[in-house]
Amino acid sequence: MGFYINGIGSVSAQRFDSRVKEINFEAPVSNRLSCIEPGYKELVPPMQLRRMSKVVRIGVASAKQALHDAGLETPDIITLGTAYGCLADTENFLGKLVTQNESMLTPTAFIQSTHNTVSGQIALLTNCYGHNFTYVHRGHSFEVSLQEAMMWLNEKSVNEIFSILTGGIDELTKDSFDIISRFGTYKKEDEHYDAVSEGTIAGEGANLFVVSNIKNERSYAECVDIHLCCSDDIKSELHSFLYLNAMEEKNIDTCFVGMNGDSRYDEIVLNTISSLSNAQLLGFKKYCGEYPTSNAFAFALACMVLKNGQIPKELYVGNVAVKEIKPKHVLIYNHYKNKYHSFILLKKI
């Protein structure tokens, strides 16, 4: 049984209002995309804002946006995904621990370095006393939290309106960028995203959603099912996922693909979905950068595309529209490091 997306809060490298059809996408100019932080005045009390590191700020802000968008003050429960957790606070405390040789340390950074700081802070600021989970499983952190949300909603009867705040959050810091760069993950500094070369571009963001078992006039779309896997045969995983959901490959009209500009992976990724004969392929990592929970950005775009009935042209893979479509069945296929694969099926309401 599917569920509905009733609110979106997105802090990313792009600036957009999820209720407005037109989006002005800005293409990256380097190998690193930082998110555009919103005005916090209306979202977070200033005294608390001062203590928050970026990941906590953007997490709390996108939570507030998503709740506002859904017309809610407090969700029933919270389930979030973050691969890295609170990097800046971790670096801060670890740096002082190392340089000051375990002396003269202060607690603030340590307190905020815990992986569930964001979900805890959201609970505090929204008076949410319900279940509060944080998944930290690399390229599947967001997907597991979404899958958990779906199980919760399936436990509820139609007479009970239940709303869950879910999503994915990760920050990029100077140090994490430098360290991840040394693993050969990113393109050269001056390389364009579209350059055919090894490596991707770094990103970060907080994309949160209010999902519910009950649809209303604010609902963007229905999420039919989620599947995550680490197997070697992704093509057959896709086939059985669609089969289980009584869908045929040819019925998918739009597919968001987790291509990331890395010449080592993009061909493989396209091959995986080659059976989707009628689907318009859309990319998204050019506009949010690559990071473990970037799929949550695609989830936001997919919801908007279904609600608005039109596709921003910047998203077309290869910048070409195959044909004019009104999206009805959207599949999101993401991969992270060609190891963490996931499929999310969404439907127009």
Partner 1 sequence: MNTNLQQHVWIAGLGAISSIGMNVDENLASLKNKQSGVGYPEFLKTMHTNDLPVCEIKKSNEELALLCGMKNGLPRTVYLSAIAAMEAVLDVRCQMSDVRNAESHSQLATLSPQLTEYRIGFISGNTIGGMDKSDFFYEEFLQDKSKGHLHDVVHHECGSLTELVAEHLGINDFVTTISTACSSSANAIIHASRLLKHHKLDIVVAGGADALCRFTLNGFNTLMILDSEPSKPFDENRKGLNLGEGAAYVVLVSDKVKEALGLRVYGKVAGYANANDAFHQTASSAEGNGNYKAMKEALNMSGLLANEIQYVNAHGTGTSNNDSSEGIALQRLFENAMPLISSTKANTGHTLGACGALEAVYSCLALKHNIVFPNLRHETTMKELSFTPNKELIEDIEVNHVMSNSFGFGGNCTSIIFSKAKEKK
155, 160, 233, 267: residue in contact with partner 1 (rule CB under 8 A): 155
Query: C-alpha angle 5/40/81, rounded to 5°?
Result: 45
112, 166, 212, 254: residue in contact with partner 1 (rule CB under 8 A): 112
Q: Is 133 in the site for partner 1 (CB under 8 A)?
A: yes
8 Å CB contact between 254 and 283: no
Q: Is 277 in the site for partner 1 (CB under 8 A)?
A: no
Q: Is 93 in the site for partner 1 (CB under 8 A)?
A: yes
Choose the binding region for partner 1 from 7-15, 65-73, 95-103, 280-288 (rule: CB under 8 A).
95-103
Q: Is 159 in the site for partner 1 (CB under 8 A)?
A: no
17, 21, 29, 129: residue in contact with partner 1 (rule CB under 8 A): 129
Choose the binding region for partner 1 from 160-168, 177-185, 302-310, 330-338 (rule: CB under 8 A).
177-185
Tell me whether residue 183 is exposed, middle or buried, using C-beta atoms within 10 angstroms of its C-beta: 0 to 12, 13 to 18, 19 or more: exposed
Torsion of CA 74, 151, 308, 237, to 10 degrees: 150
Choose the binding region for partner 1 from 119-127, 197-205, 239-247, 329-337 (rule: CB under 8 A).
119-127
d(CA 330, CA 6): 17
Other C-beta atoms within 10 Å of 17: how many? 13
Choose the binding region for partner 1 from 65-73, 81-89, 197-205, 320-328 (rule: CB under 8 A).
81-89
d(CA 140, CA 70): 25
Tell me whether residue 177 is exposed, middle or buried, using C-beta atoms within 10 angstroms of its C-beta: 0 to 12, 13 to 18, 19 or more: middle
Q: Is 116 in the site for partner 1 (CB under 8 A)?
A: yes
CB 310 to partner 1: min, Å: 33
d(CA 325, CA 317): 15
Q: Is 103 in the site for partner 1 (CB under 8 A)?
A: yes
Q: Is 189 in the site for partner 1 (CB under 8 A)?
A: no
> Which residue carries 């739009």 as its tokens?
254
User: DSSP secondary-structure letter at 76?
Assistant: S
Q: What number of chain residues touch partner 1 (CB under 8 A)?
A: 58
Q: Is 182 in the site for partner 1 (CB under 8 A)?
A: yes
15, 40, 49, 175: residue in contact with partner 1 (rule CB under 8 A): 175
Q: Which of 205, 348, 190 is nearest to 284 (CA)?
A: 205
Would you put residue 205 in left (φ > 0), alpha (ψ -120 to 50) or beta? Answer: left
Strands 205-212 and 3-11: antiparallel
Q: Is 99 in the site for partner 1 (CB under 8 A)?
A: yes
68, 110, 317, 325: residue in contact with partner 1 (rule CB under 8 A): 110
121, 219, 295, 334: residue in contact with partner 1 (rule CB under 8 A): 121
**Site mask for partner 1 (CB under 8 A), range 134-153, x = bound:** xxxxx-xx--x---x--x--
CB 132 to partner 1: min, Å: 4
8 Å CB contact between 201 and 31: yes
Residues 219-258 that bind partner 1 (CB under 8 A): 230-231
Tell me whether residue 343 is exposed, middle or buried, using C-beta atoms within 10 angstroms of its C-beta: 0 to 12, 13 to 18, 19 or more: buried
Q: Is 324 in the site for partner 1 (CB under 8 A)?
A: no
d(CA 83, CA 140): 8
Binding stretches for partner 1 (CB under 8 A) = 1, 78, 83-85, 91, 93-95, 97-99, 101-103, 105-107, 110-117, 119-121, 123-124, 127-138, 140-141, 144, 148, 151, 154-155, 157, 175, 178-179, 182-183, 230-231
